[in-house]
Amino acid sequence: MDIDPARPSALPTALPAGSSACVEIDLAAIRANTAELKRRAGAAEVMAVVKADGYGHGAVASARAALAGGASWLGVAQLEEALALRAAGVDAPLLTWLYVPGADFTAALRAGIDLTVSSVWALEAVCRAVGESGTVARVHLKVDTGLSRNGAAGPDWTDLVRAAAAAEADESVDVVGVWSHFAYADEPQHPTVRRQAERFADALRDLDRAGLRPALRHLANSAATLTNPAVHYDLVRPGLAVYGLSPVPQLGGPTAYGLREAMRVLTSLALVKRVPAGTGVSYGHQYTTEQETVLGLVPMGYADGIPRSGTNVGPLQVGDQRATVSGRVCMDQLVVDLGPSYAGAAGDPVVVLGREAQGEPTAQDWASATGTINYEIVTRMGARLPRILLGEGG
Ligand SMILES: *Cc1c(COP(=O)(O)O)cnc(C)c1O
């Protein structure tokens, strides 16, 4: 396809042969974003968070690109996600943090996965797995400093510290890390940010008094990595920013932080037709044409991850013009009013989301239009969309 330099996007919008829509993943962007985060992290190491299939970008490819960019750790929520990375041959240091009783800690220890421990039950289960596997567990204790989600707080933290010190003394576990997570990192001036940092410092003193001095203290997600160097400690845990999205859109987009979006979602028009004024469009006729106009049919819908709440508000780039979803987003398709003078045809390229710097609609634009966050827009892109990887191996 010819690229006209006058187009708002200088990026190619061609689909792979035989596809009606795709998710393009620029691994070079993931690598460069990680390098930028590493630069900002200073002396701290970078753990690239690749949970939820790398925020929809593909966990294994994203992990490799982030490691190439200077990450020395990987993080995932679920043990199953960690085991899948190991099965794919990813052997970098790897931390996981969310389990229920019955989790296969023995498999985790055999695979050399670091385990977060947030409770005495989890520590006891890890110690049983140590007995079965004959491998000393590397654990990171999680303290709840005010998110009130996972992690131990109050007397539970006191009990956990005591139990962990005993388990380290009998050489079942090696307490290599301690960590917590912010409730308001995306609002750097929020008073809870300082309060949580203070509680974290208190927790470090608790560990010290118990004779535990983990080398890896970590607290910062993407937002805190970008906005709060005081909490970088030994390791930062960015997720969203690795993929080139801003965790603080009210402060600045990706370009403002030296990042670029790794994901673009591309398709092309399946049909173009002229309709009279007063034509009801899509299910429930939530949109009616005001004038004679040209409608385009976009072969993507909520089954592909386009939010149904994008009805009448979702932003698109069709050919070289901006447009807005017209009428209901359906399961597999949606319609867009292209205006009376649209001269294009079926096959015209559609950018559903892409790069801020190229003037394309972004995940953030979709999030703002539909009342959610950019995280949700990228992680929900559907499994039936082929992932096209760019910049592999470079
Ligand atoms: C998801 C997650 C992160 C990464 O958060 P971002 O806001 O995407 O940077 C870091 N730490 C924990 C515990 C997480 O669950």
Residue owning the nearest CA to atom 6 of ligand 1:
239
Q: Residue 343: what pLDDT?
A: 96
Residues 343 and 250 both lie in one domain: no
Distance 77 CA to ligand 1 centre (A): 9
Q: Are 92 and 114 in contact (CB under 8 A)?
A: no
Catalytic residue among 51, 55, 302, 375: 51
pLDDT at 17: 84
Pocket of ligand 1 (CB under 6 A): 49, 51, 77, 97, 181, 221-222, 237-240, 247
For residues 248 and 287, state if they share a domain.
no
1 lies in some domain = no
Same domain, 156 and 276: no
Residue 75 Cα to ligand 1 middle (Å): 9
Closest by CA position to 222, among listed 4, 47, 20, 32:
47
The residues, any chain, with a CB within 8 Å of residue 367's CB and separated by 6 or more, are 249, 373, 374, 376, 377
pTM: 0.95
Which among 230, 256, 282 is the end of a domain? 256
Q: Calculate how far, in angstroms, residue 46's C-alpha sits from the geometric centre of ligand 1.
A: 12
Instruction: Judge whether 243 and 52 are in contact, CB under 8 Å.
Output: no
Q: What is the DSSP letter of 143?
A: B
- Does residue 241 sit in the same domain as residue 332? no
Identify which of 53, 181, 193, 245 to mutate to test ligand 1's pocket (most ligand atoms within 8 A of the CB). 181
Q: How far is it, in rounded angstroms, from Cα 250 to Cα 163?
A: 43
Predicted local distance difference test score (pLDDT) of residue 254: 98
What one-character-per-residue DSSP string does 156-171 give? HHHHHHHHHHHHHHTT
Helix (H, G, I), strand (E, B) or coil at 208: helix
Q: How confident is the model at residue 7 (pLDDT cuts 50, 70, 90)?
A: very low
**One domain for residues 40 and 169:** yes
* 29: nearest Cα among 355, 375, 384: 355
In a domain, 21, yes or no: no
Looking at residue 161, its amino acid is V
Q: Give the 3-state secondary structure of residue 181.
A: coil
pLDDT at 391: 87
Residue 4 lies in a domain: no
Q: How many helices (H) and strands (E) does the chain have?
A: 11, 19
Separation of alpha carbons 326 and 313, rounded Å: 8
Is 142 a known active-site residue? no
Task: Confirm whether 283 is a catalytic residue.
Answer: yes
In-domain check, residue 216: yes
What's the mean pLDDT in 282-289? 98
| Structural domains of the chain, count | 2
Supply the range of the domain harboring residue 344: 262-390
Residues 65 and 196 in one domain: yes
Q: Point out the ligand 1 atom lying closest to the alpha carbon of residue 181.
A: 13
pLDDT at 57 over 90: yes
Q: Taking 50 as the threshold, does the pLDDT of residue 127 lie above it?
A: yes
Residue where a domain stops, chosen among 223, 256, 289: 256
Which secondary structure element, helix H or strand E, spans residue 150, and what is its range? Answer: none
**Is pLDDT of 3 > 90?**
no
Q: CATH code at 115? A: 3.20.20.10
Query: What are 178-201's pLDDT values in tens digits?
Result: 999 999 999 999 999 999 999 999
Over range 343-350, report the average pLDDT. Answer: 96
Which pLDDT does position 61 carry in this prediction? 98
Atom number of ligand 1 nearest to Cα 77:
15
How does pLDDT run across 297-315, given as a tens digit for each residue? 999 999 999 999 999 999 9
Catalytic option among 38, 99, 273, 283: 283
User: Distance from the CA of 173 to the center of ligand 1, in angstroms?
Assistant: 25
Burial of 70 (0-12, 13-18, 19+ CB in 10 A): middle
Mean pLDDT of 93-99: 97
- One domain, residues 85 and 205: yes
| Residue 240 belongs to a domain | yes
Contact call for residues 242 and 258 (beta carbons, < 8 A): no
Determine the distance separating the centroid of ligand 1 and the alpha carbon of 354, expressed in angstroms.
22
Q: Check whether residue 252 and residue 268 sit in a common domain.
A: no
Does 266 lie in the same domain as 252? Answer: no
Residue 94's region, left for phi above 0, alpha for psi from -120 to 50, else beta, is beta
Which residue puts its alpha carbon closest to atom 1 of ligand 1? Answer: 239
Is 77 among the domain residues? yes
pLDDT given for residue 10 in this prediction: 57
Give the per-residue pLDDT at 18: 85
Q: Which of 229, 256, 283 is the last residue of a domain?
A: 256
Predicted local confidence at residue 351, as pLDDT: 97
Please check whether residues 205 and 279 belong to one and the same domain: no
- In the prediction, which pLDDT does 2 show? 38
The yes-or-no verdict on residue 157 having pLDDT over 70 is yes
Question: For residue 8, what pLDDT band results from cuts at 50, 70 and 90?
Answer: very low
> Closest Cα to atom 15, ligand 1: which residue?
77
Q: What is the mean pLDDT of the chain?
A: 95
Query: What mean pLDDT do residues 122-126 have?
Result: 98
Q: For residue 26, what are its two tokens?
A: 């620029």
Q: Is the pLDDT of residue 277 over 90?
A: yes
pLDDT in tens, 196-231: 999 999 999 999 999 999 999 999 999 999 999 999
5 Cα to the center of ligand 1, angstroms: 38
Q: Is residue 14 part of a domain?
A: no
In a domain, 5, yes or no: no
**What's the confidence (pLDDT) of residue 76?**
98
Does pLDDT of 16 surpass 50? yes
348 and 200 inside one domain: no
- Does the structure show a pLDDT above 60 at 9? no
Q: What is the CATH number of the domain that holds 296?
A: 2.40.37.10
Pocket test for ligand 1, best of 46, 49, 233, 364 (most atoms within 8 A of CB): 49
Tell which atom from ligand 1 comes closest to the C-alpha of 375: 8
Q: Is the pLDDT of residue 156 over 90?
A: yes
Q: Are residues 281 and 239 in the same domain?
A: no
The pLDDT assigned to 376 comes to 98
The residue whose CA has the least distance to atom 4 of ligand 1 is 239
Q: By C-alpha distance, which of 293, 266, 265, 264 is closest to 281?
A: 293
Please check the confidence at residue 1 and state whether its pLDDT lies above 80.
no
Of the chain, the end-to-end C-alpha distance in Å amounts to: 24
